[in-house]
Structure 1
Amino acid sequence: MDIERFSKISESLRQYRRAELKDFETDIGSKPVDMLYVDPLPGGAVLQTVLSSNTTFLLGRKGTGKSTVFAKAQSVLRERKNVISIYIDVKSIYDVLGATNIPDAEPDTAGISSLTYKAHMLRKVMLGKIISELLKGISDSCESLTLLEKWRGAKKQYDELRNSLMDIGDRVKNSKLEKHEIPVLQKITSQLRLKKQQEASTATSSNGKANAKIKSFDYEISGELTGSLSDFDRTLDDSDIYNEYSDVILKSFPFDDIITEIQTLISESGLLRLVAFFDDFSELSIVDQRLFVDVVLSPLNNSSNEIVKLKIAGYPGRIYHGKIDPSKADTVFLDFSDLYEANEVQEMERSASDYAYRLLETRFKVFGIKLEDYFDVTSTTLIEDYMSMMFRASFNVPRIMGHILHICYLDKISRNEKITLASIRLAAKKYYENTISRYFDRLNRYALEPFENKLDRNNQQQLLNCIVNECRGVRKRIIDKEVGGRYFDNLGGNPQTSHFIVSPDLEEIFSSLESNFFLSRYKNTRDKAGKNVVVYALFMGLCESERMNWGYPEGREYRNYFVQRCFEYTRAIHHFLSQNQTIKCEKCGFCHSMENRKSIELFKWRCPECMEGLCSIVNLSDDFREEVEKLDKDIMLEPIELEIVTTLNDEERKMRAGEISSLIDTTHQMVGKRTSKLQEMGLVAKERDETDGKMRNSLTDRCQETYFD
């Protein structure tokens, strides 16, 4: 048993930016992605779709392998020598940029508030940076492909073209306020003031009761602009203002010049096309997503005469297509419920388990060890049983598999003991309790963020509690023989209650819980009345923590186990929502019952009471607001800083910035910048290692006592 190699396997799987895997090149060679890549579908169907000549959207939750697919696709394209391939990590660009990048206010900004100007310029600087990175990537690719040898004209023309691309990049990176932008910014400033007056009036008439709009996107740009960006975003909810605003920004960037230069480069070099990979697109707020698509992606996709093809990675349900026609693009889903959808749940599970086996077998083989040597395989428990358990415990997310293997390494392998089915269940429980469940408590207590984020997270926690209580209630009714007749007679004292069904209309309600792996959509099916329903499954670690039995009974008579009426939670969820939400008009403040949602939605959320304002779903939040106001804001950290100290606490070792960044999905530059800030706050200690001379970070006693003891 090679304990060190097993540890490296688990480490390589749980890293966020494992598409690079540079730390493991000494173990497996200079091209780790080529050696480790395993396609989610047999025959490499996912990779081939991404390599097609169409624009492609690759959708999956965090950790499902989107970046790895992109890395493998780029590796293939580099070998072809007839395309230019570039990769842009959109989120990392947004992470690094901040208020310090905003140019000073122009002299002719009369009628534009300081907050409006800063929020607008930050957005413009970010979009300019993305375009600049795109042009820089094209220039670098030209050099690596030695396109001069393919150039049909003189050297001077080629150099002029590259210089032109770089000049455009410099221009868009150094964004300035244009005169044609001023009228719409004045209009936004006016709208912001009007909204503030209306909110103040509504708050007074409601005896100070405050409500917060439900948000589909948690991501906020941190720092001093958070509040202004939130207000700015709400103003752009008005489609007319947003359309005018996005058109104005689009005119600020010379896309005619950019596309003309790209077309000239491709045609004169005899190349087929430019393929641009955009990763971590869904981490942006909805307004940032819309602007990114409308200002950057749509012009590249629609105006390049098929010369430019886009490959875009995002989250399911969090994709904005804008003017990109989705019917002319390929969409690939990486989550198991979409990838392996089948009539029978057993067939779906077999396909998902097969991927888990291919993924782990390849990784163990590349690292020079055998998969079967580390699992307690017997005549009754086969390696296939372990792979089925790995799928169920991880929802087939490679990163979660890595975390489960890491915990098994600590619990079993490090002691020269083999992994058992029970140890996988225990690892899932530990991962849930130590990592997933912290999403609620630690962020709500210690994260410096807008109240709306905390409220949204609190509502998710209450929804999860509602589901878990319903599962417990069903288990009790099955045991007491109150439901199901004789169908449940042979299930023993702990029947499986981890799965439930709801109406497809409620899918959006579960999106945040699903994104954070508290539960997962399992399959689409029909209930006993023949209506379409969605089967959801709670995370196995959550079930282990709550002492609930995960799964479903074996045997053909139980193939419809999920659709028994006792597992239908639609009514329970609607009851929960009716107690925690209402539909409120932003203009007159009138609150409508949630039962009226479909009719109000039919009229595009126009208020039936005043016929002028737009309605939105709001959470009833008075009690929670009082809780938040009692929190100690002096010890709160920005979310990324909280992630850094949490990682240092969990790993219990001194870590380099690059090691931390690989586990929290950000750049090592960002980690270095934030750990320096944390050092000044007395929360992180920095020390240069005498053996390799690299700086390592650790928690101070003050940090440990404040946030973790």
Structure 2
Amino acid sequence: MEQIKFKEVAESLRQYRRAELRDFEDEIGINPVDKIYVDPLPGDAVLNSVLSSNTTFLLGRKGTGKSTVFTKAQLSMREKRKVITVYLDVKSLYDIIPTLHTSEEVAVKENISEAAFRAHILRKSLLGQVISELLREIGITCENLSLVERWMGKKKQYDELRSSLEKIQARVKNTKLETHELPILQKITTQIRAKKQTESSLTASTKGASQFQINSNGLPAGGISGEATLSDFDKSLDDNEIYNEYSDIVYKSFPFSEIISEIQVLLSECGLSKLVIFLDDFSELTFVDQRLFVDVILSPLNNSSNEAIKLKIAGYPGRVYFGKIDPNKVDTLSLDFSELYEATEVQEMERSAIDYTTRLLETRFKSFNLVSEDFFDCSSTTMDEYYRLLFQASFNVPRIIGHLLHYCYLDRVSKGQRINLQAIRLASRKYYEQTVNLYFDKLNRFALEPFENKLDRYNQKALLDTIIKEARETKKRISSGDIGGNYFSDITNPPTSHFIVMPKLGDFFASLESNFLLSKYKNTRDKDGQQVIVYALYYGLVESERMSWGYPQGRKYRNYFVQRCFEYTRAVHDYLSSNQTIKCNNCGSCYPLEKQDSFEMFHWKCPECSVGLCSIVYISDNFKEEVIELDQDIMLDPIELEILTVLQTEKRKMRAGEISPLIDSTHQMVGKRTSKLQEMGLVEKTRDENDGKTKNEITTRAERIYFT
């Protein structure tokens, strides 16, 4: 029984989605978050920041606990009963794309391309769905709070207000093309067609170029098609003038003045102070969708409500668009350990981070009526040492800690054995090899997605390989005495997991960071007094590469990371210079990367055609040849690959509701996709005789195709 409870501790930490933990109410009690919540900072400083009366952006990578903070904050606000709180999972609303029944006759008549028309109607429908869901949630919350009891004798009847909100809700779902939208769609259509014509001319004049064309699914096509795509529509919105005109037109399609007015009446008549809207998974949207979401929905709600509406928005570092929301007038808080616990000394930062790991796990074990020491081998290792290693192996991310404990359960606890340090190291390596590293492998080979996604992932992997190669070479040269002199003389196995680069290279590591293959560790100065960033490779990756993680103990090594041999700026720059170029989006002219500073000075205008905008792109001909060799017939949507990966990793029959928390999706979406996978012979569905629920299991065929 205690072993099963340990498994549930791990499971409660590694789940995605909103952190309400309803599956664990039998063990923990009603409102589990109230009992398990542990603030990343002492004194509940993070929670109190979110509870402030300001609009707040809460930033952090996946699994850092943003949803848990939001859940706790919403529970705290409900207790005060002076505010209405609404929670929206933005990603799930965009996942469930509404069925569009639209006539394209108007588009043909008005000379608007089919792609522009469909993209526009879809975007309007998605934005309308968000607004509609917001109004629906307000209605549900009002009913639950019995606000009608506060309404007696008021000048506007509650039923009248509710009816008004329902009418607005119906209006925003209207996705028909309106007259005032025609000019901008015609302009975008003209721009797309002109660009297609230019591309066709360039292709015709380039011998053999057609073999490298990639279609909208990220796969090779026979040549350039004159038909526009959703991607073409999005690229047109890269032009700020076009985007601003387009977003203004979309904004005018929704009755925000009426919405805000009715919300203000609701608050005023009920004696409430404000409406607080929690928006989760905001950064999961594409950049175009994120811009429109902010400019069309969030900015009006935040800027025009006279302080009646406040937003609490969860996003990823470096992937947040503020638009017309003044970042100087909102609170921004990061949950990533390097930002949250920043200190002069790295040792001080680590102590603060390890303190959070300790409090998090001690509280979680206690909530399940367990004692942590019962599961760890403390005969020669203290719990402090275990918590330190768990911090190092997880970058202090609760969800990764959950995965590590899950592997420890399978390898040790389920067999009646206690966890030791080696078991945690092994768990970290398994998590890297079986989960994190598959991000590169499985998706590039089997994911049905735009070519640009595959190219970006391919180059991330190449950049990571460059860093690993440099780390191996550094270790070899230290061990041979070629570098470092006496500083390393007492170290038998020199750690090479950390490295430093100049800050201007930080953007190139964003994707690797977001997927936890490495992490920003600290801002510091090198031996010449220059500002640099310390990065750390993921612990499991270092274990897999048979290298040593961290730095030696002792005061002599307090500045271990800033030794000159760990300066990788030159190596990274050499890689980028040989794999990137500056290219014009209009005429296609290319320029060497060394001219980046000049292009920045002139706002990236193309010196050749004076019309197009230049940007840094990867040189990708070799990879295009690899993509051509991929088998399109066995490719799946990324979410379907994630479902198969969970079923293969867990090696058990699972309900849609068990799969969805592990892949950051809804159980409805998982149910829909597993039905499709069943038709393809990749998943088998059976009804459990004990509980009567339908469960999914990966088939031998799927194992052979995607995992052998």
8 Å CA contact 1:119, 1:232 repeated in 2: yes
TM-score, with normalisation over the residues of structure 2? 0.96
Partner SS for 1:313:
strand
Q: Deviations over 1:601-652 (max 9, x none)?
A: 2221111233221101111111111111111100100000111111111110
8 Å CA contact 1:209, 1:622 repeated in 2: no
Amino acid at match of 2:393: A
Q: Deviations over 1:581-607 (max 9, x none)?
A: 000112222211111112202221111
8 Å CA contact 1:106, 1:177 repeated in 2: no
* Per-residue deviation, 1:313: 0.3
Q: Match for residue 473 of structure 1?
A: 473
Q: Deviations over 1:236-280 (max 9, x none)?
A: 000000000000000000001001101111111110000000000
* Per-residue deviation, 1:704: 1.6
Equivalent-residue separation in structure 1 for 2:168 and 2:213 (angstroms): 42
Distance 1:53 1:481, change over 3 A: same
8 Å CA contact 1:148, 1:155 repeated in 2: no
Amino acid at match of 1:544: E
8 Å CA contact 2:41, 2:356 repeated in 1: yes
8 Å CA contact 1:447, 1:639 repeated in 2: yes
Q: Match for residue 448 of structure 1?
A: 448
* Per-residue deviation, 1:174: 2.8
Q: Deviations over 1:364-414 (max 9, x none)?
A: 001001012211113x52111110100000000100000000000011111
Partner SS for 2:485:
coil
| Equivalences for residues 203-602 of structure 1 within 5 A | 203-208=203-208, 228-378=229-379, 380-492=380-492, 494-602=493-601
Q: Match for residue 222 of structure 1?
A: none
Q: Match for residue 222 of structure 2?
A: none
Amino acid at match of 1:538: L
After the TM superposition, list the runs of 4 or more consecutive aligned residues in structure 1 that deviate by more than 6 angstroms. Answer: 210-213
* Per-residue deviation, 1:209: 5.3
Q: Match for residue 95 of structure 2?
A: 95
Equivalent-residue separation in structure 2 for 1:7 and 1:190 (angstroms): 59
8 Å CA contact 1:152, 1:268 repeated in 2: no
8 Å CA contact 1:500, 1:569 repeated in 2: yes
Amino acid at match of 2:176: K
Q: Which moved more, 1:358-367 or 1:683-692?
A: 683-692
Q: Match for residue 659 of structure 2?
A: 660
* Per-residue deviation, 1:231: 1.3
Q: Which moved more, 1:655-664 or 1:673-682?
A: 673-682
8 Å CA contact 1:102, 1:121 repeated in 2: no
Q: Deviations over 1:64-99 (max 9, x none)?
A: 01111101111111111110000000000111115x
Q: Deviations over 1:280-330 (max 9, x none)?
A: 000011000000000000000000000000000000000000000011100
8 Å CA contact 2:478, 2:484 repeated in 1: yes
Equivalent-residue separation in structure 1 for 2:560 and 2:213 (angstroms): 39
Amino acid at match of 2:582: I
Amino acid at match of 1:239: N
* Per-residue deviation, 1:202: 3.3
Q: Which moved more, 1:239-248 or 1:611-620?
A: 611-620
Partner SS for 1:107:
helix
Q: Which moved more, 1:245-254 or 1:594-603?
A: 594-603
8 Å CA contact 1:54, 1:330 repeated in 2: yes
8 Å CA contact 1:102, 1:122 repeated in 2: no
Pairing 1:684–2:676 present: no
8 Å CA contact 1:648, 1:655 repeated in 2: yes
Partner SS for 1:551:
coil
Amino acid at match of 2:342: E
Partner SS for 2:311:
strand
* Per-residue deviation, 1:153: 3.8
Amino acid at match of 1:528: K
Q: Deviations over 1:210-235 (max 9, x none)?
A: 9999xxxxxxxxxxxx9822111111
Amino acid at match of 1:293: V
Q: Match for residue 617 of structure 1?
A: 616
**Long gaps (5+) in structure 2:** 215-226
8 Å CA contact 1:9, 1:367 repeated in 2: yes
Equivalent-residue separation in structure 2 for 1:413 and 1:407 (angstroms): 9
8 Å CA contact 1:375, 1:419 repeated in 2: yes
**Long gaps (5+) in structure 1:** 214-225
Partner SS for 2:484:
coil
* Per-residue deviation, 1:14: 0.6
Equivalent-residue separation in structure 2 for 1:70 and 1:203 (angstroms): 51
Q: Deviations over 1:652-674 (max 9, x none)?
A: 00000000001000000000011
Q: Match for residue 49 of structure 2?
A: 49
Q: Match for residue 643 of structure 1?
A: 642
Equivalent-residue separation in structure 2 for 1:227 and 1:83 (angstroms): 47
How many residues of Structure 1 are paired with residues of Structure 2 in the alignment?
A: 694
* Per-residue deviation, 1:18: 5.3
Equivalent-residue separation in structure 1 for 2:40 and 2:594 (angstroms): 41
Q: Match for residue 35 of structure 1?
A: 35
Aligned-residue sequence identity (percent) comes to: 64
Amino acid at match of 1:410: L
Pairing 1:7–2:7 present: yes
Partner SS for 1:320:
coil
8 Å CA contact 1:500, 1:535 repeated in 2: yes
* Per-residue deviation, 1:418: 1.0
Q: Match for residue 702 of structure 1?
A: 701
Q: Match for residue 198 of structure 1?
A: 198
Q: CA RMSD of the aligned region, Å?
A: 1.6
Equivalent-residue separation in structure 1 for 2:79 and 2:213 (angstroms): 52
Amino acid at match of 1:352: A
Equivalent-residue separation in structure 2 for 1:105 and 1:43 (angstroms): 58
Q: Match for residue 125 of structure 1?
A: 125
Q: Which moved more, 1:612-621 or 1:630-639?
A: 612-621
Amino acid at match of 2:138: I
Q: Deviations over 1:417-474 (max 9, x none)?
A: 1111111111000000000000011101100011111111000000000000000010
Q: Match for residue 138 of structure 1?
A: 138
Equivalent-residue separation in structure 1 for 2:207 and 2:487 (angstroms): 53
Partner SS for 1:150:
helix
Amino acid at match of 1:681: M
| Equivalences for residues 148-187 of structure 1 within 5 A | 148-151=148-151, 153-154=153-154, 157-187=157-187
8 Å CA contact 1:496, 1:553 repeated in 2: yes
* Per-residue deviation, 1:512: 0.2
8 Å CA contact 2:151, 2:157 repeated in 1: no
Partner SS for 1:88:
strand
Q: Deviations over 1:30-84 (max 9, x none)?
A: 1111111100001000000001000000000000011111011111111111100
TM-score, with normalisation over the residues of structure 1? 0.96
* Per-residue deviation, 1:106: 5.1
Equivalent-residue separation in structure 2 for 1:112 and 1:388 (angstroms): 60
Q: Match for residue 221 of structure 2?
A: none
* Per-residue deviation, 1:207: 4.2
Equivalent-residue separation in structure 1 for 2:580 and 2:206 (angstroms): 16
* Per-residue deviation, 1:192: 1.0
Equivalent-residue separation in structure 1 for 2:677 and 2:172 (angstroms): 33
8 Å CA contact 2:154, 2:269 repeated in 1: no
* Per-residue deviation, 1:208: 5.0
Equivalent-residue separation in structure 2 for 1:80 and 1:227 (angstroms): 53
Amino acid at match of 2:66: K
Amino acid at match of 1:577: L
Partner SS for 1:617:
strand
